Amino acid sequence: MAEARQQQESEVELSSVRFVTPLTILPLEAYAKHYGLTVNCAQDPDSDACRYLDTIGFQKEATNLQSSQKSYLPIRNLPAVEENEILADYEDTIFSLAGLPKAYGLRNSLAILTSELVANVRQHAGINHYWILAQYYGKSTNKTCEIVIADNGRGYKKSFEGTMFEAETDAEAIQNAFEGKSSKPPEGGLLSRGYGIRHIANTFLNGFRGKLVFISGTSVQYYKNNTTKPSEAFELPCGWQGSVVCINFNARDIDAMDYIVN
């Protein structure tokens, strides 16, 4: 994508791609829309990957969520300025897909997850819209769900500029957000705390045995096993304007409050 933009090409071919996940495909959606690129599968539109992209509404404007019998929820571009019914539909549909009718803990945790991911966009991105995509893997032994939110905002490093937590690198800025350090100015002499990502980490890395991926600027940080430091870190040669947050977790019934308050 970055190479195509640098060479001033308007189209990118994806027919050769054989396997995609929300984490690999949603950033392409956000990048293509932001820079006016077209991604297509003209060479092999019947490939598994290309059929999946068509189903989830890749580079299309999905108007409604799929039936709860499906294992995927289509890409949506949503306003970050307020909570909306579509976000609640995502929560309800994922809950239904998990097949846990009495799993209040999962329903409550999903509501916390989606609302705090969107709050994270509002706080750090400085942008009005974001993209969301979810996939439920019910056939796997662990029955996992993956939710990804992407934006083309200012990213973590710029959001901390001019604050006491100003970061020298994108990796340091991501770690600031992970540790709950807020980019908001102090109010009444008191330092505010950024609880969104910390809540997500406590709940989903520990309680739901999840994995968490941050992408911002030139940094990719991968967290698992409820660690306070990334298990792995990578550098992006081209960088990412904005941020991408991916959470992959087991669909289980737990009480999220046990992890939020700790």
Domain boundaries defined on the chain: 67-260
Please name the residue that has the structure tokens 């890749």: 58
CB contact burial 30-50 (16+ within 10 A = b; e otherwise): bbbeeeebebebeeeeebebb
Alpha helices in the chain (DSSP H): 2-6, 22-35, 48-55, 85-98, 104-125, 155-159, 170-178, 196-200, 257-260
Q: What is the pTM of this model?
A: 0.85
Task: Return the CA Rg of the chain.
Answer: 18
Give Cβ neighbours of residue 186 (< 8 Å, ≥ 6 apart): 192
Give Cβ neighbours of residue 2 (< 8 Å, ≥ 6 apart): 238
Q: How much is the pLDDT for 116?
A: 81
CA dihedral 197, 198, 201, 204 (to 10 degrees): -90
In the chain, what is the straight-line distance between the N-terminal and C-terminal CA atoms, in Å? Answer: 41
Query: What parts of the chain have a pLDDT lower than 70?
Result: 1-11, 61-70, 82-84, 101-104, 139-141, 183-196, 226, 255-262
CA distances from 244 to 155, 166, 188, 237 (A): 9, 20, 32, 16
Give Cβ neighbours of residue 225 (< 8 Å, ≥ 6 apart): 205, 231
CA distances from 180 to 183, 209, 216, 231 (A): 9, 20, 16, 18
CATH, domain 67-260, list 3.40.50.720, 3.40.50.300, 3.30.565.10, 3.40.140.10 = 3.30.565.10
Q: How much is the pLDDT for 3?
A: 57
**pLDDT tens per residue across span 100-117:** 766 667 888 888 888 888
